[in-house]
Amino acid sequence: MRRAGSCGSDVQWCFTQVKGTTDLDVSEADIISTVEFNHTGELLATGDKGGRVVIFQREQETKNQPHRQGEYNVYSTFQSHEPEFDYLKSLEIEEKINKIRWLPQQNAAHFLLSTNDKTIKLWKVSERDKRPEGYNLKDEEGRMKDLSTVTVLQVPVLKPMDLMVEVTPRKIFANAHTYHINSISVNSDCETYMSADDLRINLWHLGITDRSFNIVDIKPVDMEELTEVITAAEFHPHHCNLLVYSSSKGTLRLCDMRAAALCDKHAKLFEEPEDPSNRFFFSEITSSVSDVKFSHSGRYMMTRDYLTVKVWDLNMETKPIEIYQIHDYLRSKLCSLYENDCIFDKFECAWNGSDRLLLNSDFTIPFKPGFPEYS
């Protein structure tokens, strides 16, 4: 199905592909829970509630149709997480994939991190299109040869074969989170990454699985005083010591890891002052930030809450520089949305490659056209 719409003078949007099913009845396990492009845009990974990851690859642009954007085809599918049972608490641990993050590519293989509520896994995605043939001791099926038939020594040669995509688990980072992991973010140093749950953020080394460092902890001594949780976190794209995390109260905290081992004290606090005349029952719930992303330049941050997208300048903590209302018409329906839990839905946002467009996910329409140019 193709549909063209225009927004702005130089951007045209086309609805190119639909993956999956458009039936009304889908099995719960097939519901996509997270989506992530890799850095070049060649690969698209999706995670679903059944713990599977499906990777799509963009087909190469052909000489015949250079303007046509490549279509995405299934590249690989694998089971990332399985449902588990916490015997201590008598609770199930969902296999739903909460987040996928690609590592910057350093060789022919691709690496990605996928996480459910409790465990993060590092996967290696590699291609195999050749295989060795002509072993001396084994035949083509791998069975041992009868040595009496071997008369000549040969050197095995690599012969082309059908492309095979292998996905192997390389590391499993487990048992570091008491609460549900909501975010992972790879550092610009390409050696460390962080994982954030509702109350804590841990720093890992990509090569070390048996320990992590806690860098943020907002758990109060008395849990009854808990009024705020961490909702999203991300590393700065260039400064490996800076990270930002958002809260359910709509605040953003920029932390500098050079200041202290435990970054409980923020370096900057970004909070829009509440307008008392505009306060309503669901002010706090709708202000809870569901996603935060740095721009590629590193100068700006974008946050998504239930009704708005806000763009912040790192140099100004007092208020955002842009606010976009997403579905303001829902303001009068918040009671029902609270009743059926829709108000707790999480939406994501993203910058395009040149930081000129903001994109966000929504539930009413397939996608929302980009906002006015932003640079």
Partner 1 sequence: MYCKRTLICTSFRYMLAKGTKRKFSEHEDGLEGKVSCGHGPSKVSYTLQRQAIFNISIMKLYQQQPLMEPSLKKTVLINNMLRRIQEELKREGNLRPVFIAPSQSSDTLNDNYRDVQPAFNHFASPPAQVTSTTPPDLCLTPASVLEEDAFSSCHTVTLGPSKPQNHLQKDTFSSALDEIEELCPSSTTTDSKISREQSSEGGNEKPEEVQENRPSETRFADPLPGNFEITTTSFLTDLTLDDILFADIDTSMYDFDPCASATGPSSKMTAVTADDILKTLSPYSSQSVTPSQPFKMDLAELDHIMEVLVGS
Burial call 209-232: b when 16+ CB within 10 Å, e when fewer: beebeebbebeeeeeeeeebbbbb
CB of 160 to partner 1, least distance (A): 30
Cα dist from 40 to 131, 209, 328, 357, whole Å: 28, 28, 34, 17
Complex with partner 1: residue 284 or 313, whichever CB lies closer: 284
Give the pair of three-digit tokens for residue 181. 């992991």
If residue 287 lies in a helix (H) or strand (E), which one and from where to where? helix 283-287
Spatial CA neighbour of 318 closest among 259, 273, 274: 273
Complex with partner 1: residue 121 or 200, whichever CB lies closer: 200
Complex with partner 1: residue 89 or 143, whichever CB lies closer: 89
CB of 227 to partner 1, least distance (A): 6
CB of 285 to partner 1, least distance (A): 5
Complex with partner 1: residue 133 or 362, whichever CB lies closer: 362
Complex with partner 1: residue 17 or 168, whichever CB lies closer: 17
Specify whether the backbone of 190 is left (phi greater than 0), alpha (psi in -120 to 50) or beta.
left
CB of 30 to partner 1, least distance (A): 10
CB of 337 to partner 1, least distance (A): 8
Q: Are 76 and 165 in contact (CB under 8 A)?
A: yes
Q: Return d(Cα 185, Cα 234) in angstroms, integer.
A: 5
CB of 343 to partner 1, least distance (A): 9
Q: Are 201 and 264 in contact (CB under 8 A)?
A: no
Complex with partner 1: residue 3 or 67, whichever CB lies closer: 67
Complex with partner 1: residue 47 or 320, whichever CB lies closer: 47
Residue 127 burial (CB count, 10 A) = 14
Residue 174 burial (CB count, 10 A) = 13
- The alpha carbon of 38 is separated from its chain's Cα centroid by a whole number of angstroms, namely 10
CB of 114 to partner 1, least distance (A): 16
